[in-house]
Structure 1
Amino acid sequence: MRNRYTFWIVLTGFVLVGSAASAAALPACVGEDRPGRDPTCVSTGDRGWYQGARWRLKDVEAPQISGRKAACRAEQVMGIRSRDHLRALMARGFTLVRTGRNDAEGWSLVTMKLFDGRDAAAQLMSDGVVQALPKSENRWCAR
């Protein structure tokens, strides 16, 4: 059975390339414990897993989805919208480039190019579903 995703490592700077076999959105991650679950999924509007490796988009913050992390219900609703928007953007193909740094929680910071060359973080910012870091307020609950 052919793997639905393609994976390349370029020795000059770890580049992860994902190519969906169809234009279907990548799955949303379910649950916190990743071992034994779908190794490629999107958990929030700025984080996900690619073949078992966790990544986070650099320089942006998505609204939280988890009830214990979200500051208000509006943030949770926007968090789901943000996650699903990123899933749709990634559906036609993407390239993750590791920056060589991790965030405070140990997630590998990456930049993501979409199939058409657009920067995913810039597109998410333009679409209003993430905010720039460092953030000065929780804009999702301040509305």
Structure 2
Amino acid sequence: MNNLRWPTFIIITVAMCTALFLAIFLSGGTAATTAAVVIDPNRASFGICFGPERITCVVDGDTIWFEGRKIRIADINTPEISSPGCASERQLGERAKMRLQALLNQGSFSLQSIDRDQDKYGRDLRIITRDGQSLGDILVAEGLAERWQGYRRDWC
């Protein structure tokens, strides 16, 4: 720093502090939240379920098998494909299933527990997230699901 003159040092320091402030401000966070990184521990290649052996696959828009465990996505409800009320429900359900498969295969994800571990059918109840965002919320935003309200509704 003996060769660095004070005015140059001050200009460089102010520029660095300004850049840091702008990065934090434009990201909408604070230094603590900007530095936080969400690590999603799960990753798999999901197919579509068929046949009796199900390890890692998508059943429908709100049910998957992951590493041999049947999981019901707890924060959404999607149209039925196994016993739909009408043809349009089956079509929308198929779209939800394919979209869920695509979302799961896009990268790592987390499985978040809710207030109870399983439903009455023995399925694990989980919310599936990536980078802190619910994949169910994406399906809802795209019109392929609705928020879970505690019961199935008629999609016809």
* TM-score normalized by the length of structure 2: 0.65
Deviation sequence 1:10-64 (CA, Å, 0-9, x none): xxxxxx94214xxxx6201114x3xxx2400010111100111010111311111
Superposition pairs for residues 69-80 of structure 1, below 5 Å? 69-80=83-94
Question: Which structure 1 residue ranges, 4+ long, deviate > 6 Å from structure 2?
Answer: none
Which residue of 75, 81, 84 maps to 2:95? 81
1:96: how far off?
1.3
Structure 1 residue ranges without an equivalent (≥5): 1-15
1:136: how far off?
7.5
Q: What is the percent sequence identity of the aligned residues?
A: 29
Q: Which moved more, 1:42-51 or 1:104-113?
A: 104-113
Structure 1 position 58 matched with structure 2 position 51: no
Work out the number of aligned pairs and report it: 114
Structure 2 residue ranges without an equivalent (≥5): 1-39
Structure 1 position 124 matched with structure 2 position 124: no
- Distance, in Å, in 1 between the alignment partners of 2:69 and 2:152 is 29
- Distance, in Å, in 1 between the alignment partners of 2:108 and 2:118 is 24
Which residue of 42, 50, 57 maps to 1:18? 42
Instruction: State the SS of the aligned residue for 1:71.
Output: coil
1:133 paired residue number: 148
Which residue of 14, 26, 40 maps to 2:56? 40
- Distance, in Å, in 2 between the alignment partners of 1:117 and 1:59 is 14
Amino acid of the structure 2 residue aligned with 1:86:
L
Higher helix share: 2
Amino acid of the structure 2 residue aligned with 1:101:
D
Structure number with greater CO (CA < 8 Å, separation at least 6) is 1
1:98: how far off?
2.9
Q: Say if 2:56 and 2:65, in contact at 8 Å, map to a contact too.
A: yes
Distance 1:105 1:136, change over 3 A: closer
The structure having more radius of gyration, on CA atoms, is 2
1:133: how far off?
2.3
